[in-house]
Chain A
Amino acid sequence: MSSTIDAARRRLVGLGAVTAALMALSIVGVFLVAPEDADQGVIQRIFYFHVPIALISLVAYGVACVAAIMYLRRGGEKWDEVGVVSVGLGMVFSILTVLTGSIWAKASWGTWWVWEDPRLVTYLVVILLYAAYFVLRSSAEDNRRARYSAVYAVFAFAAVPLSFYSVRVAESFVHPVVFTRSGADMPGSMLIWFFVSLVAITGLFATLLQLELLQRRADRAMRDLKNRLETLMAGT
């Protein structure tokens, strides 16, 4: 067990180093190299973090959904842990999305929040849905906790596509839509830094996920060791 934890720790250090380098590169690129938006000025640079964070929060919920399906099909504490950690990280990224979006909205539209925009509202609904995941987890009885969490993770993830569908239903023109069916509505000099930032944020998510899972695995190993020692002591 300790050798696998050591190997996972070495992988984590490597992943963390690559992520830190990518984060530094994206910060330099976004603030010093990428051209300034002619219409919105410096505040538009928040886009390079706001959109990747929003996308990765949805990816985190997707990972939780896949882990939930794996748990329901095969069982195993490992999948439950991947699920709960992914939802936790998804929540953190979602809250950051709303905060960065709010700052951008204040600078661009003069208000911190726009209720007329269904994408913002539906995103808030998604946050509330996943906040309820933790309430369910704390309320469920021990033998049902992982199973109910898995069912709920699948259920809540079904709400994510609805957030995109609702935009089309209500035909909002408030929220900027950069990526359309005909491609990205921005020049290549901006697009490249968007993708660097996206890869960096993806790395950040992967690093945090690995870190939390490693910590949980170490906790489990410690618990097993303690139980074995107690059994041994009781035998003597």
Chain B
Amino acid sequence: MSASPLRQMRALLVKDLRLELRTRETAVAMGLFALVGMMIFQFAIGTRTDDATPFAGGIIWATLALTAVLGVGRTWVPEREQRVLDALLTAPVPRLVLMLARSVALVLYLLTVQVVVVPMAIVFFVRDAAFSDLGLVAVVCVLADVAIAVVGALLASMSVFSRARELLLPVLLLPSIIPVVIAAAGATHAVLGPGNALDEYWRYCVFLGVYAVVFGLVAFATFDHVLDD
């Protein structure tokens, strides 16, 4: 008798997180990449102005989007490198559970990086940020991460079985998450920018939620076909 889907998902998630805790390959690389990325954006944009606050949302989310590509790119790679991918695919686990476990693991990786990177970015780029603003930015992070993770898990599953997958994934993923970057940057700017525009903030949050739900449904409907062999 096979375990319930919830237990299967928990087992897969624990396996992913344990692997990451042992090696710390993905989260550390993503964190360092995000910091370097923010520095590059600072020199590209920030030095042209005394106050980088109006650009903060854009810098933060452009960097985090590129960082997400690294995290999503690592999806399925440990299994492939350690040759357990076929075993995982032949295990009596519904494909949807595999996708959900991947998505939750991705959300956790992204949140881990953001817990360090976003406060640092606020210190670097934002003048007069209030402590309460951090909570609102955290909501944006969670919504955007769910959207990125759902899309990322689906696209990573296709790219892992394709040729030139390192090139393919960014080409597939980055256009898909541009609306997320636009909305997340807009929401962050609405909170951190001059004059808290909470109406605008909630509109962007709703957009992020709708995006996550729409692509969640698409992934739900199509994921079985991606791993159909």
Contacts and interface: CB of A to CB of B under 8 A. Distances in A.
B91 interface: no
Contact of A139 (B163, B179, B203, B228): B163
B214 A158 contact: yes
Interface of B: 154-155, 158-159, 161-165, 167-168, 171-172, 175-176, 178-179, 182-183, 186, 203-204, 206-207, 210-211, 214-215, 218-219, 221-222, 225-226, 228-229
A129 B175 contact: yes
Contacts of A131: 175
Interface string A158-177: 11011001100110000000
B162 A141 contact: yes
B89 to A, nearest CB: 13
A114 to B, nearest CB: 15
Given A121-B182, A154-B221, A128 B175 contact: yes
Interface in A116-134: 118, 121-122, 125, 128-129, 131-132
B175 A132 contact: yes
B222 A125 contact: no
Across the A-B interface, give the 10 residue pairs with the lowest CB-CB distance, nearest first: A128-B175, A139-B162, A151-B222, A129-B175, A158-B218, A139-B168, A125-B178, A169-B207, A140-B162, A139-B163
Given A132-B172, A141-B162, A148-B162, 5 more contacts: A125-B178, A132-B175, A140-B158, A155-B155, A166-B207
Nearest to A127: B175
A171 to B, nearest CB: 8
Contacts of A121: 182
Nearest to B228: A147
Interface of A: 72, 118, 121-122, 125, 128-129, 131-132, 135-136, 139-141, 143-144, 147-148, 150-152, 154-155, 158-159, 161-162, 165-166, 169-170
A150 B154 contact: no
B225 A166 contact: no
B204 A135 contact: no
5 contacts: A72-B222, A135-B168, A147-B225, A151-B222, A154-B222
Contacts of A154: 218, 221-222
Nearest to B186: A170
Contacts of A139: 159, 162-165, 167-168
Nearest to A133: B172
A165 B228 contact: no
A165 B7 CA distance: 37
A160 to B, nearest CB: 11
A76 to B, nearest CB: 14
A169 B207 CA distance: 7
Contact of B179 (A125, A147, A150): A125
A128 B215 CA distance: 17
Given A72-B222, A155-B222, A158-B218, A148 B210 contact: no
A121 B154 CA distance: 24
A48 B139 CA distance: 44
Nearest to A130: B175
A139 B155 CA distance: 13
B221 to A, nearest CB: 7
A155 B218 contact: yes
